[in-house]
Amino acid sequence: MFKKLIVIFVALSLVLTGCWDRQELNDQAIILGWGMDLLEDGQYLATANLVLPLASKTGGQQGGEQGGRSGFMTETAYGKNNRDAEQNMQRKLSRVLFPGHRRNIFIGEKLAEHGVFSILDEYGRSPMVRPRANIFVVRKATAQEAMSLAYQLETNPAIAVQKIQEKSGAPISRSLLDFFISANGTGCGIMPALTILPPEVKIDKKSKNDSPPQTTLGIYGAAVFNGQLKLAGYLKYDEYWVRLWIANKLVFRTFTTIINAVDADKPGGAVEDALSGATSGKTVTVSVDSFKSDITPIFSGALPRFRILLEGKGYIEENNSPLNLSKPANVKKVEARMNQYLEEKIRRVVTKVQKDFKCDIFGFGDTIHHRHPYRWKKLAADWETIFPDIDLDITVKLNLTGTGLTGESLLPTREGGEE
């Protein structure tokens, strides 16, 4: 009887246990960043940023290194697609590639121009790819170049770009998901764009403790993709926020405008355009941390037009004009001037997208789809040709709720402004 119990126990332990195929952490090569480039011969070049666990155990952190060792390693491999390159990369690694923690995906510009459909299929199909990953286009460079740069403040450049994007007021951990949603909606797509930035001023290192500016990664803006998922062009850093605000995804943003010029892009301007007695070229900066967008399609005929109301709340963070902000009337002048500046800026960016890219990255078509599904059925097939000519009524309502710790500026009496 006792022998029978032992046999049954051993048999059950073999059948019921589910841990035989477990993968120990020490056997995994954790991928934090993944990049894809297209080569001249049509092959793909995959680049992976892998965590170096031995470096992470040591103390100290300086210049992207931990304990004198870099916190990551970069590995590459050729392939016919994502999975083929990953398999070829595996033969050079002593641990199994684990993409479950892959937070950032980089795409070289040449591949973006060729079209990203071929690599995005795996990202939408594989259960090992997180839909809430960040995906970037590297402008005028390859993914490998961007991923090989050591970033001084972080141990891994793949993590650095995610944090830079977050500090720019854009949402993080959803650009891949947003791209899929947009591409399956109006057919166009948009994703953040990176650029490699050399230092503005080169300074020689005179001692080992000096830390002059170095070539680094930065957010360029956004890459716009057409209906064939090919790169149509870029929005610059000072234009990307327009799309985020209209799409209700802008988290915060600081705006600076010249208080007395209609054309706020350059200092100066006609005196008659001044909102007050301020001299030309004086700036006011407003920090906004609450944004709201409302898009209303209006049909007066077969084709729609849109009424766009953009609202925000913020406070004046810097005043270099002679306006005395202790007076509520002057705060209203700043508010009116800022609304004027933002409306003009937004109108120019939207027109650029309509005429240059011809891609509805703002979700206007999706708004018709949700509110007027029967009308959308008639418009959807021709939306690519309708979108560039639709009329937009854009209104900005910024509510300034504060002027900082002081109302009066040091300038008014010195610059001939209001006392």
Percent of the chain surpassing pLDDT 90: 42
Assess whether pLDDT exceeds 50 at residue 396.
yes
- The residue among 351 and 261 whose pLDDT is bigger is 351
User: How many CA atoms, within 13 angstroms, populate the side-chain half-sphere of residue 140?
Assistant: 9
- The residue among 143 and 417 whose pLDDT is bigger is 143
Give the model's pLDDT for residue 38: 95
* Concatenated DSSP letters of 281-323: T-EEEEEEEEEEEEEEEEESSSSEEEEEEEEEEEEEEEE-SS-
Going by pLDDT thresholds of 50, 70 and 90, the confidence category of residue 368 is very high
Residue 28: its H or E element: strand 28-38
Give the model's pLDDT for residue 210: 81
Residue pLDDT, tens place only, 269-321? 443 444 444 455 578 899 999 999 999 999 988 789 999 999 999 999 988 87
The label of the residue with tokens 């990255």 reads 361
- Whole-angstrom Cα distance, residue 120 to residue 179? 10
Going by pLDDT thresholds of 50, 70 and 90, the confidence category of residue 59 is very low
Assess whether pLDDT exceeds 70 at residue 11.
no
Assess whether pLDDT exceeds 60 at residue 246.
yes
Residue pLDDT, tens place only, 14-46? 555 555 556 677 788 889 899 999 999 989 999
User: Averaged over 388-401, what is the pLDDT?
Assistant: 94
Residue 29: its H or E element: strand 28-38
294: which strand partners?
309
Give the model's pLDDT for residue 262: 41
- The residue among 322 and 391 whose pLDDT is bigger is 391
Going by pLDDT thresholds of 50, 70 and 90, the confidence category of residue 244 is very high
- The residue among 189 and 158 whose pLDDT is bigger is 189
Residue pLDDT, tens place only, 114-146? 999 888 888 888 877 777 888 999 999 999 999
User: In the chain, how long is the greatest CA-to-CA distance?
Assistant: 106
Give the model's pLDDT for residue 302: 78
User: Averaged over 152-159, what is the pLDDT?
Assistant: 79
**Cα 109-115-118 angle, rounded to 5 deg:** 115
Question: Mean pLDDT of all residues in the chain?
Answer: 83
- The residue among 404 and 63 whose pLDDT is bigger is 404
Assess whether pLDDT exceeds 50 at residue 63.
no
Going by pLDDT thresholds of 50, 70 and 90, the confidence category of residue 268 is very low
Residue pLDDT, tens place only, 305-363? 999 999 999 999 988 877 788 888 888 888 888 998 899 999 999 999 999 999 999 99
Going by pLDDT thresholds of 50, 70 and 90, the confidence category of residue 263 is very low
In 127-272, the DSSP E strands lie at 134-138, 189-197, 216-225, 231-236, 253-258
- Label the pairing between strands 96-98 and 28-38: parallel
Give the model's pLDDT for residue 173: 74
Give the model's pLDDT for residue 416: 53
Give the model's pLDDT for residue 326: 84
